[in-house]
Amino acid sequence: MVLQLLPKHLQTIYTHAETTYPEECCGIILGNLTSEGKTLVEVMPTENAWNAETAAELPGDDTLDYSKRQRYAIAPQVMLQAQKEARDRKLNIIGIYHSHTDHPAIPSEYDQKLAWQEYSYIIVSVQNGKASDMKSWTLDDSHQFQQEAIEKLG
């Protein structure tokens, strides 16, 4: 599959990632699904809702030791609102984006545990406050991340 997006989408994600540094940013991507791939229509920056309560809801995980510098969460009510807005606009939630602060744009074990197969997961690496690399990932049938091609339109 290919994820198609416009330069303005990249800029929105990069700006969000840089302004939240040294914490991780996160957001929702809306778009259209076709047999050829996904077309991003809108980037919805969200607040990183990671906190001790969120961490405690993850069974058998040591994530209580982590902060917003290493983890992200999108609040359930924000996700529900995004689903409603997407449906009203005849769009789909096609994925999630987040940043890795001072780490590569490669999914972590935590990212893999919480991922859904149908979504694209855009990760932007932010090194010393500057967005430096971005990759998109999808889960295969074995629940392993595979890099997804990104096609810049326009």
DSSP string, 34-72: -SSEEEEEEEEEE-----HHHHHTSTT--GGG--TTT--
Mean pLDDT, residues 103-124: 94
Q: Is the confidence at residue 61, as pLDDT, over 60?
A: no
Q: Residue type for 58, please?
A: L
- Tokens 């009510």 correspond to what residue? 77
Mean pLDDT, residues 10-23: 98
Residue 116's φ and ψ, nearest 5 degrees, are: -110, 140
Its pTM stands at 0.93
- Predicted confidence at residue 66, as pLDDT, reads 75
CATH of segment(s) 2-152:
3.40.140.10
Mean pLDDT, residues 68-77: 93
To 5 degrees, how large is the angle CA 92–CA 103–CA 144? Answer: 50
CA 131 centroid distance within chain: 15
Collapse the DSSP code of 81 into the 3-class scheme (helix H, G, I; strand E, B; otherwise coil) and give the result: helix
Collapse the DSSP code of 76 into the 3-class scheme (helix H, G, I; strand E, B; otherwise coil) and give the result: helix
Q: Is the confidence at residue 30, as pLDDT, over 70?
A: yes
Report how far residue 15's alpha carbon sits from residue 77's, in angstroms, rounded to the nearest whole number.
24
Contact 104, 134 (CB under 8 A): no
Residue 32's φ and ψ, nearest 5 degrees, are: -120, 145
User: What are the boundaries of each domain within the chain?
Assistant: 2-152
